[in-house]
Structure 1
Amino acid sequence: MFTGLVEEIGQMKGISRQGEAMRLVIGAERVLEGVMLGDSISVSGVCLTVTSFDRSSFSADVMPETYRKSNLHQLRPGEKVNLERAMQAGARFGGHIVQGHIDGTGQIQSRETDANAVVFRIQLDDASMLRYVIPKGSITIDGISLTVVDTSDHSFSVSVIPHTLSETALQFKHAGAVVNIECDVIGKYVDHLLHFRQPESAAPKSKLSTAFLMENGFL
């Protein structure tokens, strides 16, 4: 699990492809401190497993599902990526709950300056994801924990402060760029529980419903 607070900007040093499978070699410094084989590192919001490493880089495999769901298949040697190690128990939780499980991608429609901030408007490739995008709620863009400003029928906007922009690869993104999106996990779980339908032969039906939540003050 991650928090969406990027620790450093890494650089793609090597990419090998075999169909929809990839092997990435990523140059890094800070995230290599204390690294061990099998550790999880978020690469532009995608949770990947360290399969090998040296003093200046680590390698990770990308399976077909991740290839299809994220923007990793568009990476090129030399490209910048956001890196974050998995959070430690007892550490400060500065962002929000981030799994590193990408829900889909979006395309930057615009990038505009608003006083000291930069506002990005992003159109989702799958509009159905908007059910989990809530104004003033949390969302992860390329591994960065951000707050949603507003939403429209197919897009949403986020406002990025100077520090976040300078410390992440988002500074290199402009209109037309594709970014990874992970919606708030709490919303996804609540939605699943409310709409889940068990087979008739399964265990007794859950009493959890929208009406129950409203009656008990949860909604």
Structure 2
Amino acid sequence: MFTGLIEEIGTLRRVHRRGQSLILTLEARKILEDVQLGDSIAVNGVCLTVIEFDRQQFSVDVMPETFRQTTLRELSPGSRVNLERAMTMGRRFGGHHVQGHVDTVGRILNRSREENAVVFRIEPEDRQVMKYVVPRGSITLDGISLTVVEAGTQHFTVSVIPHTLVETVLLQREAGDSVNIECDVLGKYVERLLAFGAGGPLVEHMEQEKGAGRPNGGLSAQFLADNGFM
């Protein structure tokens, strides 16, 4: 689990590729202060596992599924990347719950300035994720916790303050560039629970309630409240 608050920008030093699997070796400093084998580190928002490290760099495996679903396949030696260690107990939580599980890749349609902020308009490759994108809701771009400004059916916008811009790789991103998108997990769980209930134990329970004399009104706010979900 991560917060979406980038700790430092690292530099990719080596890429060992075999088919659609990769081993990436990245130069870093801050995140290596307490690193251990098996630790999780988010690289441009992708949760990866440390398989080797020394005082100046660390290496991670990238499996084919991650290669296909993220922008890691586009990296080359010299690429700059956002880095964040997994959160620890007792640490101040300033972003939002980020899993490091990328939903889709997005393309920057345009970048514009609005007084002290920079507004990015993003179009996801998989338009289905737009159902999880909510105005004033949380979203992650390349591992950065951001707030959605506008959300349509095909694209959305985020507004980035100067500090976030200069402390992350967004400073270098322009129209046409790709970013990793992770939507807030809450909407995904709600969707899954409702879909599961459409043909699973929840419906069976509702049918039992109907048989006990309760009206069959489907899944409603009253039903959720009556059964301790609200």
TM-score bucket (shorter structure): over 0.9
**Count of residue correspondences:** 217
One of 189, 193, 216 as aligned partner of 2:225: 216
Is the 8 Å Cα contact of residues 12 and 76 (structure 2) preserved in structure 1? yes
Structure with greater helix percent = 2
The alignment's TM-score, normalised by the length of structure 1, stands at 0.93
1:144 aligns with 2:153: no
- Point out the more displaced range, 209-218 or 96-105: 209-218
Q: Against the structure 1 CA distance between its residues 210 and 70, is the aligned structure 2 distance closer, same or farther, given a 3 Å change threshold?
A: farther
The 3-state SS of whatever aligns with 2:68 is helix
- The separation in 2 between residues aligned to 1:118 and 1:216, in whole angstroms, is 42
Contact persistence 1:4–1:140 (CA under 8 A): yes
Identity of aligned residues (%): 54
Moved beyond 2 Å, runs of 4+: 197-200, 202-207, 212-219
Could you say which structure has the larger radius of gyration? 2
Residue 97 of structure 1 aligns with an amino acid whose one-letter code is: H
Residues 52, 136 of structure 1: CA spacing in aligned structure 2 closer, same or farther, 3 A cutoff? same
Alignment-mate amino acid for residue 127 of structure 2 = A
Query: In the aligned structure 2, how far is the partner of 1:198 from the partner of 1:130?
Result: 22
Q: Which 5+ residue runs of structure 1 have no aligned equivalent?
A: none
The letter of the residue matching 1:70 is T
Contact 2:197 2:203 in 1 (8 A): no
- Tell me the alpha carbon deviations over residues 110-152 of structure 1, each in whole angstroms, 9 at most, x when there is no partner: 0000000000000010111001000000000000000000012
The Cα shift of 1:48 comes to 0.3
RMSD: 2.1
Structure 2: any 5+ residue segments left out of the alignment?
207-217
Aligned match of 2:159: 159
Q: Residue by residue, what CA displacement relative to the aligned partner does 1:37-92 show, whole Å, maximum 9, x if unpaired? A: 00000000000000000111100000011001100000011010000000001111
1:127 equivalenced with 2:136 (yes/no): no
Partners of 2:44 and 2:142 within 8 A in 1: yes
TM-score by length of 2: 0.89
